[in-house]
Structure 1
Amino acid sequence: MPHLTVTPEAASQLRLQLMALTRRLRLEAQDDELPFAQLSLLACIERADGTATPSALARAEKLRSSNLASLLRELETGGLILRAADPEDGRKVRVRLSEAGRSVLEAHRLRKDDWLRAALAGLPPQRLELLLAAGEVLAELAAAEPPTARQP
């Protein structure tokens, strides 16, 4: 199989297409009761599955500790998260979603999924199949480590 070269233009075009879809999904969720930063943090807490510490959340979400502290306070005040001392190290705090937090996150996802499902239903079967297969590749790209510098 021949080696394909990705041109800067092709990479830029794909980036723009992905950004357009991301913007559209955000637009579909604009009726969310929470700002995007809070929803993103809720999703990060969910992914940690009860093991989230504030410092790990700050790293994962690329937030300064002061910004994270403010978001956590707002989420806790809203009853969307619960904080508890780490059972193994009482100096650490663990953060997890409350049932209300899970419900808000699920409603947010359903709004976006409903729009996407309706949009996908309008595609011809061949294009839908192609797009669903591309989704697997996009997931691989999202999880990929940055390439290391090539040696001459």
Structure 2
Amino acid sequence: MKIQRLNRDITQLRRQLMDASRRLRNEATADDRSWARLLVLGAIDRHVESATPSVLAADEGMRSSNLAAALRSLEARKLIVRTPDTKDRRKVRLRLSSAGRRFLDDSRARGERWLTEAMDACLTASERSDLIKAGALLDRITAYSKAAMPRSRKS
């Protein structure tokens, strides 16, 4: 009975996380295509100087052909800049252009405005604080790797 309840709780938590992620995505973007752009722009932003097509493909779990098409689209919109690697001219480094930075920052700001407004409207000050604290727990879960964690984490 206890295991069944835990499974239901985990299923509900997964659904809640997915619903929150979808809602945040919808609030942050104008259309489905801009979400795909944001994923790639966000990955370039996270990787800063080490952003290459192969790094992004691995990070976002994209096929190289899909990523190549996305990069061409971003470059055509002048949202990214490609530069040859200084040490290995066969490699290409990617960075956000100023327009790409604005696009990404504006989208993040829209999502954060909605999240702030929703939290203010739906939660008490104490609940907002609890939710912010839960973010640190989500960070730990997100960083989890079975191979890297010690086994004694049960309590």
Same topology, TM > 0.5 = yes
Aligned residue in 2 for 1:51: 50
- Describe the shift of the 1:76–1:85 C-alpha distance in structure 2 as closer, same or farther (beyond 3 A): same
Counterpart secondary structure, 2:18: helix
Q: In structure 2, how many angstroms separate the alpha carbons of the residues matched to 1:128 and 1:110?
A: 19
Deviation at 1:42, TM superposition (A): 0.2
Q: In structure 1, how many angstroms separate the alpha carbons of the residues matched to 2:33 and 2:49?
A: 21
- 1:139 is the counterpart of 2:139: yes
Aligned residue in 2 for 1:126: 126
Residue 128 of structure 1 aligns with an amino acid whose one-letter code is R
Superposition pairs for residues 3-82 of structure 1, below 5 Å?
Answer: 7-31=6-30, 34-82=33-81
Q: In structure 1, how many angstroms separate the alpha carbons of the residues matched to 2:146 and 2:36?
A: 25
The structure carrying a bigger helix percent of its residues is 2
Deviations along 1:6-29, whole A, 9 cap, x unmatched?
Answer: 822111110011111112112212
Aligned residue in 2 for 1:108: 107
Structure 2's unaligned 5+ residue stretches are: none
Structure 1's unaligned 5+ residue stretches are: none
Q: In structure 1, how many angstroms separate the alpha carbons of the residues matched to 2:60 and 2:26?
A: 21
Counterpart secondary structure, 1:126: helix
Bigger drift between 55-64 and 31-40 goes to 31-40
TM-score, normalised with respect to structure 1: 0.88
Q: In structure 2, how many angstroms separate the alpha carbons of the residues matched to 1:52 and 1:79?
A: 17
Residue 129 of structure 2 aligns with an amino acid whose one-letter code is E
Counterpart secondary structure, 2:50: coil
Residue 59 of structure 1 aligns with an amino acid whose one-letter code is A
Q: In structure 2, how many angstroms separate the alpha carbons of the residues matched to 1:65 and 1:81?
A: 17
TM-score, normalised with respect to structure 2: 0.86
Q: In structure 2, how many angstroms separate the alpha carbons of the residues matched to 1:115 and 1:77?
A: 30
Alignment identity in percent? Answer: 43
Query: Do the aligned residues in 1 keep the contact of 2:41 with 2:96 (CA within 8 Å)?
Result: yes
Deviation at 1:94, TM superposition (A): 0.7
Q: In structure 1, how many angstroms separate the alpha carbons of the residues matched to 2:130 and 2:40?
A: 32
Deviation at 1:50, TM superposition (A): 2.3
Query: Do the aligned residues in 2 keep the contact of 1:42 with 1:105 (CA within 8 Å)?
Result: yes
Deviation at 1:63, TM superposition (A): 0.8
Deviation at 1:121, TM superposition (A): 1.5
